[in-house]
Amino acid sequence: MDLLVDSAYWADAYRRAVGEDAPGTKKDWDAKARGFAHKSRRSSYIDQLVDLLALEPGENVFDMGAGSGTLSIPLAQRGHAVVAVDFSPGMLGELAAGAREAGVEVSAFERSWQDDWTDLPCADVAVASRSLITDDLAGACAKLESKARSRVAVTMPGGETPMVDLRMLRTMGRPASEQEQRRGFVAALNYLFASGRRPSVSHIAYPRRWHAPSRKQLLEAAESTARPQDAAERDALRRFVERHATVDAETGECALDYEQNIVWSCMIWPVPEREARFSD
């Protein structure tokens, strides 16, 4: 594949991933901010990613798509200076509150992938953790490299994710496969190799089980994730949740009777020399 083919393949994968909802407006992400503040800290994702980043003492990090500080705050707690960037004021507000609660400092900036980054600080390592939400793959890689002195790390879906439950999609009659979930990762990996970069590839995997305080809230969470499009899909999803829901006799908490195997794929590559960046 040449770079034009790779870029087109990525754009198609991006459109498939976001569907008609696109990545969401600032208002959408602002509304999600409070729920995101602690939800992602229950899994082993961050610990595994930090291990893969292999940061040396004193290295600092540019965290693009930092959200509510899921990665930025743990890195700051480990003694690394962090530049946190996100386009959602609500997310940055949650990040600031979380940093204060943790007793750490994080430098935060409100920017999107499409904005000008010229005045943003550089760091040793630039990271886009589950946040590569743009149809311009080449531009995103170039921007990350422009803010990294040493290396770039990107994580993307490598299978099921907390926002994609293949069982739910199939029960609603939609085609769903792990191969389709990896489409964006494959496109990005092809682009990186075609452009002369040589990323190392690792995978972050952990089990996840659906749970909620009540059966009603469990169904609401499933609907929020699977996003049924009509009455038939909503009914199919409701029957699926009822069939798989279990209740803890002591706490009354509801859960689904299976575990997802969540997989995120991580690509890390050294920043090309300036001359090499423009020779592709």
CA distance 256 to 243: 9
| Strands 245-247 and 260-270, bridge-based pairing | unpaired
Would you tell me the crossing angle of helices 183-194 and 137-146 to the nearest 10 degrees? 60
Closest listed residue to residue 177, CA positions, set 169, 185, 187: 169
- What's phi and psi for 109, nearest 5 deg? -140, 140
Task: Note the pTM of the prediction, 2 decimals.
Answer: 0.86
Cβ–Cβ under 8 Å, residues 218 and 248: no
Give the model confidence (pLDDT) of 199-249 as tens digits: 999 999 999 999 999 999 999 999 999 999 999 999 999 999 999 999 988
- pLDDT at residue 128 tops 50: yes
Predicted confidence band of residue 5 (pLDDT cuts 50, 70, 90): low
**Can you tell me the mean pLDDT for 253-268?**
96
Q: Is the pLDDT of residue 42 over 90?
A: no
Side-chain-side CA neighbours of 246 within 13 Å: the count stands at 10
Q: Convert the pLDDT of each residue in 166-196 to its tens digit.
A: 999 999 999 888 888 888 899 899 999 999 9
- Beta partners for residue 84, in sequence order: 63, 108
Q: What is the DSSP code (8-state) at residue 214? A: S
Nearest-angstrom CA–CA distance, 80 and 106:
9
Residue 46 has pLDDT above 80, yes or no: yes
Q: Which sign, positive or negative, has the C-alpha torsion 30, 35, 37, 39?
A: negative
The 10s digit of each residue's pLDDT in 111-121 is: 999 999 999 99
